[in-house]
Structure 1
Amino acid sequence: MHSLGKAAVMVLGLAASSRALEAVILADTNRDGKLDVMSDAEGKQAWTEGRGALFMANIADTDGRCSEQITDDTPFADLDKCNDASDNILRNPKFLAPLQTLPNSGLTDAAQGLITVSGDDLAKDKVRIFHKAGNDWAYVDEGRVFQAAELRAGLELGIDARDVRRPDGWDGRARVHFNVTDNGESAADNVQLRVAPVLIHHHLQELQQVYIASIRDHSKGTKQFIENVEKYAADAGAPVTKFDTGKDTWAQDNFEAGYTSIPGPGGPVVLRVLVRASQTRDREVSGRNVYKQLRSASVAVVQHLPSELNDRNWGIDSLGNLETVPPHSHKGKHYPNGRAVMGSKGGKKPHMVAFLEAQEAQPPIEIDTDWLRVGHTDEFMQFLPANNDRGWVMVVDDPKLALDLFKKAQKDGHGATEAMSRPQMLHDIEFLSWSTQYSCLPSDTIDGVLRRWKLQERNLLAAERIEANIEIMKRETGITDDDIVRIPALYYVYEKGWDCNRKQQAQEKEHHKRSEREEDLMPAFGEEDGEEARLDRRQFEKPEDKLVAYHPAVINGVVFNNGKYLAPNPWGPVVDGADILAAAANKEYAKYGFNITYIDDWFDHHAHAGEVHCATNVARDASQKWW
């Protein structure tokens, strides 16, 4: 926090003594990280997007006081109730925004002053103000009366918030009033501020932190996956944090990493904010542990829960469904922080959209993910840094391109080549011990894949739906075909993908007739259920005719720094010594300076409708100004 310098105080004090009674309060109206009479006075009473003081929700958990209170029985609605600002003790002064009253040496001993807050009905309860005396900060309550000696010297104040901007709640605006009385005379001044928004990271920001689920009773395959991610992250210079998710392997679905920041004298003052998914069902352990294990003096957590805690909109509120378009301009509007992207289901938006809209900084774009079994944006869309005029490209899956690759291989005499090239691995035997549905490796050939029941029809449908989403993105962001990268990927219905323990072709027509029956919907699983249950729960409520990635989806990976990209090995057909799916992806990513490292996720994630991105989470650099 930065206050007025001594020279400024002396000059202003002398000036104040030569005038009638005045009350002047300043905030960082011009957002340069310091208080200045000349530049911060103008327009201070009318906050706009381009000018006006900012302050921060001081909602970390500096000493772990709140986290240690969370138990297995803590209601989800109570997780937000305890943070550094939930009482009137200042635990982290770093996140105070400065306020200053100008000194007035001409006051008599009878002078008194008040600092109060106004705004909407919620503002007073959401804002804290502190007064600094020596090295100590004291909370300023409504009854605090400042005496003449304090007013003559000028008040050094700090302001923070107990919460962030909320839909149908506090919009973050607050007006701070300074009133002075002296022997029957009175003077007043005020300044308007607004709490900074919570922003979601985009891929032009450098990766700084990797999160991964520490799953209870995980398989050897999952353990190997975690070790592979940890090694890759270490080699890339990124620290890894594991958190206890119970039996929930999908780290990405639990939260989205973001941040809030305000101007400071040395640059932006940043608080990392993890936005927890708007879910309670099947997140009993992981949901609480985002709050319990991941908060610190520099990391906060927020959530936006639905009014009905068992909302059937569960799937699309998993945060694998949230991506961010990097910064861009379109139709005369500039989006310096990019825009959020979330998929809708049957025209119903995720509950999280309202929270994103309330931030008024990254206007959400709604796309259609209803055609997907899981229904997440990260299943087929990604944004990649690029050395072009825009600074980024949009990567999408292209099912038509994949069909063409398979048909070309077939035409060139490779129809009998195995369509899935993954070898048997030592830890695979463990899957045989607990699963009959996902334990074997398929032996389908290219010919066999192309003959599958409605496979080509379904991939043409997937291509149509992806193209429709591309048109939405073109309309909303202004991207053109030159900004779009297409990589080959096949889709198929979940139950009929690589399930090699069934007589596929004979059963598929009959299953197709039953696709909308209630028993074809996956059940909800509780924390007490087994290994299969914890993996399958992310797609439990989708009808069987919705689609998933056929091979492990390269697009569902993690963008690291310096051209590094971690992706699931697609294990496509090997033709002339090369995996045709991996080779095609390598070629496209290389155009933008990215080198792909592949890891196996077949049994532990892909067989359960998720990949590398789904199973990990990251936080990125937030040192750039957003204002």
Structure 2
Amino acid sequence: MRTADPIQRASWGLEAGKPLFLPANHPSFNDREVQDPDLSVENVNLRVDWQTLRRLPLSGAVVFSFKALFTPMTRFKEEPCIPSLLLKILNEGKESIMKYKGSYHTEHVVKPTLESYERYQAEQGLVTQGWVPQTLDEYPFYPVPRALPGKRAETPDPKWDGPPYNPKDDGPSYNPNDDGPPHNPKDDGPPYNPKDDGPPYNPEHDGPRVESLAAPNQTTGSAPPTTGSFKVTILADSNRDGKVDTAGSTDLAGKETWTEESGALFLANIVDTDRRCSSQITGSCADNLADIFFLGTTLPEKPVLDPKLAENMPMIDFLWRDWFDGLSEGDKATYNEWEKKNNQYWEDYGKVRNVDNRISACHDSSDDILRNSTYLAPLRTTPNPELSDSAIGSITVADKTAASNVRLFHKTAGQWNFISSNYTFKAEALKAGLELGIDGRDVRRPGGWDGRARVEFKVQDGDKVAKDSVELRVAPVLTQHHGQPLKQLLTATGYAGADQQRFIKELGDLSGKAGLQTPVQVIETSNCNKNDEIWAQDFFEPGYMSIPGSDGPVSIHIMIRSAQDYRSAGRKVFQDLRSNTVGAVQHLAGGVTTDSTGNLETVPPYKHNGKSYPAGRAVMGSAGKRPFMMDFLDAQETQAPIDLDTSWLAVKHTDEFMQFLPVESERGWVMMVNDPLAGLEILQKAQKDGHGGEPAVSRPKSPTDGDNKWRVTNTIDQLLNVTDFASFQKSCAEKIEENVNIIKRETGITDAEIIRMPALFQVYQNEAWQYAGDDEPKPLTDEELQRIFGDIWPQTNGEQRRQATRRAGEQQEQQPAKDGSEKQGSVGWHDILEAGTPPQELKNYQPANETARTLEGRQEQGSGGPAISLYPATINSVVLGNRQILAPNPWGPKIEGQDVLAAGVDAAYQKANYTVLYMDDWFTHHKKVGDVHCGSNAIRELTGVEWW
């Protein structure tokens, strides 16, 4: 090997972190065969090992050099083609080679990420639509970035071309004492020869050179700082201490790179000051929007019918046919063409004016007027008094997508002025230093804007130009947790029957008893979702955004609409809940019941396995398909959603069996979980003690029960004798334990921090309870039996008569109550599962309130099927302040004057030092497969929100 012929090669692989080299027989090398579920893409790097062999000119010795370069996987989002190429290699690479690469331990994280980057690059125009991954043009070793495949970059861009040589960062320049003699043709081979080595650099064909624009000893970033003898500096709160340090250097380090640990933050200013937008939403269920929601949209042109035809065309259907038949063939053709265009017009009009798509379009930052400066994040430029009077400057946002999603303001004479893209600052302002503010027009979006914004500052003074930049990111939208004090309860009117009105009143009374100063907010939903939207927990989830401020965190409440585009009640968060301090967002999709936000809980803050979650973690259940809402939560990149298996439940919501409570302990919280075996043991003990003949339910008659069959007639013995009753409780307990183990693995929580509470389950649409009114139903006569069941049983016997009597009683339950209030099980009302099911799926869905079913028939079906709570689920409750729980009354069996189920619940909560307030929801919510938590919602105080 000649001195002039060094050998260089590169070997690549994917690494979790930045590990040192390990031989294949090292014990830690086995970690590559395991996929860590806690691994995040932020911790994955592309490792390139550059290896060179060089012969030294004097000694002739051969030197081997090795350097490992680690590139974060997240960098590839903005590098054209790279995600597609790497994904193709991972998916299609030769098995033996890929095994040698040892990338398996990262692929479960890397592949989905690369797929999302691939879609993003196509959507943003970073690659040509339809481009097929293939070997790229080499120039000379890699393609010139910022150009689509097959094209060259027009101008040098330091973001892609990298900074020039800097002795501070890159080490000393060539020194013959250390580095050996310069090129010597005698030893090193001939110099450049165009005949053998190819043509020299030609800017016409090869693209521009990248030349340094940096001043000596100036640390370079993505923007060349200077072309002269002066420099400029723009700063933000990059160290997240709540202020911008223009006098010192605390906000200088790392200001051009945003990471999870450092980098400036700003808010999406999507509140609605003075309800400017919300007040313009009207209609029966927020289904009418004023023109303010359609600014910037263009309506299609409405076609005009020939005036001669329009003048004589009747508006009454049966007259129109005769009129049309009497037209000439030419006029018929004219009319048909107009009708076709008119139908298209209304279709296009509907898309433009779609309420659900446009209802989030109006808020404080949807235009360029600053209505509330509280939510501006500060930016500052350092004073530059030595500038000449002719100096001019500009502030811009680098990326087109980011620029469309942020606003910049300049404060002069106490007033904030919007900075447009062509705004020019004069020398006087530049000399003094600029006071700036930034806010966002939107939040982080899955598959869209990730919230990053690079603000660039440029000053020109004569022929001298100086530049600087700072990187910021919009704060994530986070879900609240029970460690935050309760501020206000909310509920929904739904059909507004007498029993629902009683529920609302009792909720308000208990809210005051719990010490809440703000009264319960009642959301009007009587015209939403076929009048049955009483599930206030399910169509939105309260959240928040927060950034550091000079006097503590600056925060806003964010109401997150469920990802269920058919659920019209979700619009109410934009109409009823927004204010000067509250905003709302939506990530609409056709989500099913798992996208109901009753399925969204939050683990309080914790640390585990070297990772910290200062905002806690979101928890959602899935049943074979991941909820759409989890994509939105993932995009926030903060609360790392935990995926539970709720497929065993009919409604499939986490709040049916799990709850997190703040306590005074090292961890700061415990987990409550349902224990069906403990509930079963309570009933079995009562039976064993001779109380099997006691009623299984102790609920008394409510004033709103009216003539309904309100009384449950089952005894404890009858309930325990239901076929497979005990085995079904065991099956549910096993499913709960599987999910408990997931939480254990993800959080490190121990059995000592898990409190188990008695509960019982039954099969959905296979109810165990029998109902009666004030008097037992009379046996039906043969004539009545013949009239009701003649087509089923022409002849009846005693057993059939007994069953039919019960069937008739159940059938009578379907009739409207005399007082107009809703009857339990009445046809036409959706239960909580049906309310969270898309209409097109409901058409093929078996209704929950079937008629003519007997307990015996249900028993014969056994215990198979999805589970719902048998008694009102006390875990489906609201965590109040002052160590109180607001729960549905279980109305368990009363033994010697005590409700034995409620006693077990009280004892469980007492272990966490909580007391329970009970309220009745048997017919308002429990019979519809939900409970108090499902029928209410809670907004919590924005304290302890320093997630950064």
In the superposition, the TM-score normalised over structure 2's length comes to 0.59
Question: What is the CA–CA distance in structure 2 between the aligned matches of 1:371 and 1:237, rounded to whole Å?
Answer: 38
Aligned letter for 1:208? K
Aligned 8 A contact 1:373 1:539 in 2:
no
Match of 2:765 in 1: 495
Select the residue among 412, 416, 441 that pairs with 1:137. Answer: 416
Pairwise mapping of residues 462-473 of structure 1 onto structure 2 (< 5 A)? 462-473=732-743
Aligned 8 A contact 2:557 2:581 in 1:
yes
Residues 222, 504 of structure 1: alpha-carbon distance in 2 compared, 3 angstrom cutoff: farther
Are residue 445 (structure 1) and residue 654 (structure 2) matched? no
Match of 2:302 in 1: none
Residues 363, 187 of structure 1: alpha-carbon distance in 2 compared, 3 angstrom cutoff: same
Are residue 220 (structure 1) and residue 501 (structure 2) matched? no
What number of residue pairs does the alignment pair up? 572
Pairwise mapping of residues 46-57 of structure 1 onto structure 2 (< 5 A)? 46-57=257-268
Please state whether the residue corresponding to 2:499 is helix, strand or coil: helix
Aligned letter for 1:555? I
Are residue 305 (structure 1) and residue 588 (structure 2) matched? yes
Match of 2:507 in 1: 229
Which structure has more relative contact order (CA 8 Å, sep 6+)? It is 1
Question: What is the CA–CA distance in structure 2 between the aligned matches of 1:418 and 1:402, rounded to whole Å?
Answer: 16
What runs of 5+ residues in structure 1 fail to find an aligned partner? 1-18, 433-438, 508-528
Are residue 83 (structure 1) and residue 83 (structure 2) matched? no
Pairwise mapping of residues 333-372 of structure 1 onto structure 2 (< 5 A)? 333-345=611-623, 347-372=624-649
Please state whether the residue corresponding to 1:495 is helix, strand or coil: coil
Match of 1:201 in 2: 480
Q: CA deviation at 1:361?
A: 0.9
Are residue 261 (structure 1) and residue 546 (structure 2) matched? yes
Q: CA deviation at 1:585?
A: 0.8
Select the residue among 454, 457, 464 that pairs with 2:724. Answer: 454
Question: What is the CA–CA distance in structure 2 between the aligned matches of 1:506 and 1:27, rounded to whole Å?
Answer: 76
The superposition leaves residues 7-33 of structure 1 with CA deviations (integer Å, 9 ceiling, x where unpaired) of xxxxxxxxxxxx942211110111111
Q: CA deviation at 1:504?
A: 14
Pairwise mapping of residues 290-329 of structure 1 onto structure 2 (< 5 A)? 290-306=573-589, 311=590, 313-329=591-607
Pairwise mapping of residues 146-225 of structure 1 onto structure 2 (< 5 A)? 146-215=425-494, 217-225=495-503
Question: What is the CA–CA distance in structure 2 between the aligned matches of 1:302 and 1:535, rounded to whole Å?
Answer: 23
Question: What is the CA–CA distance in structure 2 between the aligned matches of 1:421 and 1:237, rounded to whole Å?
Answer: 29
The superposition leaves residues 540-568 of structure 1 with CA deviations (integer Å, 9 ceiling, x where unpaired) of 66778211100001100100111111000
Question: What is the CA–CA distance in structure 2 between the aligned matches of 1:440 and 1:228, rounded to whole Å?
Answer: 19
Question: What is the CA–CA distance in structure 1 between the aligned matches of 2:918 and 2:869, rounded to whole Å?
Answer: 16
Question: What is the CA–CA distance in structure 2 between the aligned matches of 1:330 and 1:506, rounded to whole Å?
Answer: 57
Pairwise mapping of residues 553-564 of structure 1 onto structure 2 (< 5 A)? 553-564=873-884
Q: CA deviation at 1:64?
A: 1.7
- Answer with 460-469 or 538-547: which moved more: 538-547
Question: What is the CA–CA distance in structure 2 between the aligned matches of 1:336 and 1:424, rounded to whole Å?
Answer: 47
Please state whether the residue corresponding to 1:188 is helix, strand or coil: strand
Match of 2:310 in 1: none
What runs of 5+ residues in structure 2 fail to find an aligned partner? 1-227, 289-353, 773-799, 805-825, 849-864
Are residue 66 (structure 1) and residue 277 (structure 2) matched? yes
Question: What is the CA–CA distance in structure 2 between the aligned matches of 1:96 and 1:264, rounded to whole Å?
Answer: 10
Please state whether the residue corresponding to 1:403 is helix, strand or coil: helix
Match of 1:412 in 2: 689
Are residue 565 (structure 1) and residue 885 (structure 2) matched? yes
Pairwise mapping of residues 239-258 of structure 1 onto structure 2 (< 5 A)? 239=518, 240-246=520-526, 247=531, 248-258=533-543
The superposition leaves residues 211-262 of structure 1 with CA deviations (integer Å, 9 ceiling, x where unpaired) of 11133x4122111111111111122232222211223100000111110011
Match of 1:115 in 2: 395
The superposition leaves residues 262-315 of structure 1 with CA deviations (integer Å, 9 ceiling, x where unpaired) of 11111001110011101122x22x221111111001000001112xxxx3x411
Q: CA deviation at 1:457?
A: 2.3
Match of 2:676 in 1: 399
Match of 2:812 in 1: none
Aligned letter for 1:36? D
Aligned 8 A contact 1:25 1:100 in 2:
yes
Identity of aligned residues (%): 48
Match of 2:150 in 1: none
The superposition leaves residues 108-146 of structure 1 with CA deviations (integer Å, 9 ceiling, x where unpaired) of 111000101024x52111010001111211110111011
Question: What is the CA–CA distance in structure 1 between the aligned matches of 2:703 and 2:428, rounded to whole Å?
Answer: 78
Aligned letter for 1:497? E
Residues 494, 450 of structure 1: alpha-carbon distance in 2 compared, 3 angstrom cutoff: same
Residues 577, 501 of structure 1: alpha-carbon distance in 2 compared, 3 angstrom cutoff: closer
Aligned letter for 1:396? V
Are residue 35 (structure 1) and residue 314 (structure 2) matched? no
Question: What is the CA–CA distance in structure 2 between the aligned matches of 1:421 and 1:504, rounded to whole Å?
Answer: 29
Are residue 617 (structure 1) and residue 937 (structure 2) matched? yes
Match of 1:478 in 2: 748
Q: CA deviation at 1:537?
A: 3.0
Match of 1:271 in 2: 556
Match of 1:12 in 2: none
Question: What is the CA–CA distance in structure 1 between the aligned matches of 2:801 and 2:433, rounded to whole Å?
Answer: 80
Q: CA deviation at 1:388?
A: 2.4
Select the residue among 231, 234, 237 that pairs with 1:25. Answer: 234
Aligned 8 A contact 2:599 2:621 in 1:
yes
Q: CA deviation at 1:593?
A: 1.4
- Answer with 535-544 or 136-145: which moved more: 535-544
Question: What is the CA–CA distance in structure 1 between the aligned matches of 2:264 and 2:558, rounded to whole Å?
Answer: 21
Aligned 8 A contact 1:70 1:288 in 2:
no
Aligned letter for 1:626? W
Select the residue among 648, 655, 663 that pairs with 1:386. Answer: 663
Q: CA deviation at 1:614?
A: 0.4
Residues 530, 213 of structure 1: alpha-carbon distance in 2 compared, 3 angstrom cutoff: farther
Match of 1:102 in 2: 382
Question: What is the CA–CA distance in structure 2 between the aligned matches of 1:196 and 1:111, rounded to whole Å?
Answer: 35
Aligned letter for 1:462? C
Please state whether the residue corresponding to 1:142 is helix, strand or coil: coil
Aligned letter for 2:556? L
Question: What is the CA–CA distance in structure 2 between the aligned matches of 1:84 and 1:46, rounded to whole Å?
Answer: 29
Q: CA deviation at 1:427?
A: 1.0
Aligned letter for 1:456? A
Question: What is the CA–CA distance in structure 1 between the aligned matches of 2:744 and 2:801, rounded to whole Å?
Answer: 39
Aligned letter for 2:416? W
Q: CA deviation at 1:536?
A: 6.7
Question: What is the CA–CA distance in structure 2 between the aligned matches of 1:539 and 1:180, rounded to whole Å?
Answer: 56
Please state whether the residue corresponding to 1:382 is helix, strand or coil: strand
Q: CA deviation at 1:532?
A: 2.4
Residues 202, 504 of structure 1: alpha-carbon distance in 2 compared, 3 angstrom cutoff: farther
Question: What is the CA–CA distance in structure 1 between the aligned matches of 2:706 and 2:833, rounded to whole Å?
Answer: 20
Aligned 8 A contact 1:58 1:95 in 2:
yes
Aligned 8 A contact 2:593 2:833 in 1:
no
Residues 411, 534 of structure 1: alpha-carbon distance in 2 compared, 3 angstrom cutoff: closer
Please state whether the residue corresponding to 1:532 is helix, strand or coil: coil
Q: CA deviation at 1:587?
A: 0.7
Q: CA deviation at 1:335?
A: 1.0
Aligned letter for 2:504? I
Residues 271, 530 of structure 1: alpha-carbon distance in 2 compared, 3 angstrom cutoff: farther
Question: What is the CA–CA distance in structure 2 between the aligned matches of 1:328 and 1:82, rounded to whole Å?
Answer: 37
Aligned letter for 1:255? F
In the superposition, the TM-score normalised over structure 1's length comes to 0.88
Question: What is the CA–CA distance in structure 2 between the aligned matches of 1:325 and 1:499, rounded to whole Å?
Answer: 35
Question: What is the CA–CA distance in structure 2 between the aligned matches of 1:597 and 1:466, rounded to whole Å?
Answer: 25
Please state whether the residue corresponding to 1:158 is helix, strand or coil: strand
